[in-house]
Each structure stands twice: as structure tokens, then as C-alpha cells.
Copies of this chain bind each other. A is one copy, B any other.
Amino acid sequence: MSSAPFSKLLVANRGEIAVRIMRACRELDIRSVALYSDVDRNALHVRHADEAYPCGPAPARESYLNIDRILEVAKECGAAAIHPGYGFLAENAEFAERCAKAGVIFVGPKPDTIQSMGDKVIARQMMAKANVPIVPGTTEKLSDDEAIKFAKEIGFPVMVKATAGGGGKGMRLVRAESELEQSIKRARSEAKASFGDDAIYVEKFVEEPRHIEIQILGDQHGNAIHLFERECSIQRRHQKVIEEAPANRMTPELRAKMGDAAVAAAKAVGYEGAGTCEFLVDKHNDFYFLEMNTRVQVEHPVTEMITNVDIVKTGIRIAAGEEIGFGQDDVSISGWAIEARIYAEDPEHNFRPSPGEVSVYRPPGGPGVRNDSGVYPGAEVTVFYDPMISKLVCWGRDRPEAIGRMKRALHEFVVKGIKTSIPFHRVVMNHPKFLEGKYDTGFIEQEILGSKDVPLLNDKDELKVGVMLAAIATYRRDTARASRGSSNTSGEQSRWKTVGRARQMRGGSL
């Protein structure tokens, strides 16, 4: 093991990813520095840090996005590097540049990599140039004739989309040439009505799309490798909910082709650090570049578990100028890993947020279970930030064992005081299509959310137990209240009770 790459690193983030980065720091003998907003003094990431500095009021824009304040802290504490985690400033090219100007190492790719990969049009052009497959289509507006000609060229089905579009407006799926003219007309009029602009373009429609991404690593010495794929098709409102590695229905050929494409993409932009190439894979196993995430990914642990590579530590070493340290041939896939994102939200009531104090917290343990948590017993979940409180990751020799462990771990996981998505994950882990591994990005909408609220696995036995427990708990509460209420009859008695209480303090925690 080499010596610590830096002496001190500032983590410009909060929650589980800040804890994850601080864990890497401690293993690397780097002092870690936390930032905390006004509502985060008691947050877990502060307790994992060696140093901590306030960074502003609760709203992220005034604290975790406050570049001036963050660089001020970096200077004050003498941090050699800043790790942005994901979200917040992680893909902000200006921040990366400001770090460079301030003489602080930004743990991530060069500012211009962030910049160009953050612009969908430029990213698309660069990838096309590097022979990375992209969804065939234009991004510029087309006349009716041009659109028809282009659609025939790329083949049906196609999507007709408004250039000013969004939220499904001015979007038309066209399955055959015969429908095309009519669809263009409708898309134009919808687009006109919605955006005041009837410009449209045409794109290949990806059938039964699966979201599969490739983890990449690049260093300052021109090395670039990939760490295989993750499947992230279990999404709700384009938010990933469950991820696995490797992907279902993957073939060695497709894996090799996608890996090569991702490494080509990394080399095309001179990628430094840990990043991800996101692809759509259709039902014919054709794949198309979606975007490049120029940061560590929420779901990086599933890759860590099947490759035994510590992605966060490697990213920090790379930022310090070290080489990746191993080659493509040194990594292989071992077993299967699944991640369930645990959110502080109520799946029974349309996933509404559920802030509050975590009163009881008993994370699962035992073989093959990893828990990357952002909370602890007594922590407060606020409404200001992402509601993800934990990532539960399970590994098995094969997918059935990984699923068995995930079911077991979800059963063990006790969180009280707030509602969580744990019951929702139980539903997915028992769903036949999930068990078969045959799902695409429409899984949650089509298979789980047929009704507005999630049908949890409530069974009759547990209902009866619940009814009895509710009555017992009410009885106990009322009895406890009554005995408290009846004890305040005289000042004398109260005084002695107080003395008694003071005595009980002995042997307790202060």
C-alpha cells in the first residue's frame, strides 16, 4: 500500500456519499473535512469527519452549492483536494475550474470534460466521432420532407419530437411509414400549442429499453479501463430505485462491445477519475450512448462488490496523479450484486416524503450485506435534501443468492420514526418478472404502480397481529399516562420522586 495521496481532503457533500468518501479517506490515512449547513450539525457525515465547518443556511443553494464559502473553508483548513461526491457541485465545470484556480485538486475529470459531457449536443457529437453508437436521429429541426426521408433511413419505429419539447408534449411514436405524415402534423400542432414553436426532429425509437451503464476509470497517464456494467432499469420517474451488476440477459459479446465503447468514450475525452457511460439497450441487444456521468455514481457499490475494486479510493489516488494501478485483464466479475435505495418516503401514499427523527435504526448485517447509510439512531431527516437515507447492497455467488440475501436483509432492516421505501423493495424482490430478470425501464410503472398506491405485501395473518398490537399499544400508552397523571397529588410526593430520579441518574449516560 502506498502512502496517503494527500494529507487532507474536503468533502463538498453530505449524507451517505460524504460518509462513503470519508471512509475512503480514513482507509487512505487522509484527514477528512466535512461541511454542514445549519440543519446538518447533527448529521452522520459530520460525525465521520476529522474536521467540520459550517457552510451556510439549510437551502443547498446557500450552503452545499455555495462555491465561495466552500473554497474559503478549503483554504482555511488547508485541504489539498475537494471531493464533490454526486449531485450538488459534482458536475459543475465552473466549480472544478474555481478549484483549479484556488490551487485545490478537484477529485474528478478536467473542467472541459465536465463541460462538454454536460452538453447533450456536444456529447453526442464527440461520441459519434469516437464511433460510440448513439441513438440515430437529428437534434436539429427538419422539414416534413427531410423528416420523412430521415425516418426511412433509420428505419421504424421512430419518435417524432418537438425541438422545444419536454414532458412528453409534442412527442409521437411512429411504428410504420403509413402513420408518419399524420404524426408529424399532430406533433407540430401540439408543439406549437405548448411551446409556441412547431419545429420537430426525428429519432430512432428504442424498444423495451433497458438502462445499462459501464463504469469507467481513467488516469492522467492516458490509461482507461472499464469495470463492466450495471443494470439500472428499475426506475420511478426516471429516478433509479434498484440497480444490479452484472446486467440480466447480458452476453459476453455485448459486454465486450459495450466495454470497448465506454473505454473509447473515456479516451475520446481524456477522462480522469471514476465515471460512467450510460447506454440504452433495446430488445435486439443494440445499444446506444445516452450520456456520460462525470462523477462517482450512487450505484457504484454494486460494481465494487463484483469486481473487488474500491472505486472511491481509486478515484482519489487518480486525482493525486497516481496511475489506476491495474489493467483491464486484472479485473473480472465475481458473483452478483443488487442495490436497493432506501428513501425516507411513504410508498403507500404516492411516495410522499417522510421527514422526521429516526427513532429506531437497526441496519441488517451478516454475510454478503453492505449498508451505506447516511443516518443513525437519533438522526433527523429534513426536507431540504435528497431523501435517500441508505443504500442496501447485497452480494451472492449468483443472482438467486443475491436476491435471497436482499430479501433477508430487507426483513431485518428496522427503521422507525420515519416511513421508508423498504416495504416497496420487498414487493419488487418478490415480483415474478424481477425474479426472472426480464424487465425494462417501464417495470415500476407497468408492473407495480397499476394502482396509484403501492400494494404492499399485507397479509391476513399480519393484519390480525397488527389489530391486536394496536390495541395492546394503546392500552399500554393509556395505562402509562394514567399512572403519570395520578402521581402529582402533593408537592411532598413530587419532591421525593425528584430525589429518586436524581439517584437513578447514577450509572447512566450523560
Contacts and interface: CB of A to CB of B under 8 A. Distances in A.
A499 to B, nearest CB: 8
A1 B404 contact: yes
Given A365-B373, A366-B370, A408 B23 contact: yes
A365 B376 contact: no
Contacts of A412: 23, 48
A321 interface: no
Interface stretch (A177-185, A250-258, A486-494): A486-494
Taking each of A20, A491, A497, which has the highest tally of chain B beta carbons within 10 Å of its own beta carbon?
A: A491
Q: How many copies does the complex hold?
A: 2
A23 B398 contact: no
Interface residues of A, number: 65
A357 to B, nearest CB: 10
A362 B377 contact: yes
A502 interface: yes
Interface stretch (A145-153, A224-232, A447-455, A473-481): A473-481
Interface in A306-355: 308-310, 312, 334-335
Contact of A369 (B370, B489, B505): B370
Nearest to A362: B376
B476 A510 contact: yes
A367 B23 contact: yes
B373 A26 contact: no
A285 interface: no
B359 A400 contact: no
A283 to B, nearest CB: 27
Contact of A19 (B20, B309, B366, B377): B366
Interface of A: 1, 19-20, 23, 26-29, 48, 301, 304, 308-310, 312, 334-335, 359-363, 365-373, 376-377, 397-398, 400-401, 404-405, 407-408, 411-412, 416-417, 473-474, 476-477, 481, 484-485, 488-491, 494-495, 497-498, 501-502, 505, 509-510
Chain A to chain B: the 5 pairs with minimum beta-carbon distance, closest first: A488-B494, A1-B400, A473-B510, A27-B404, A26-B408
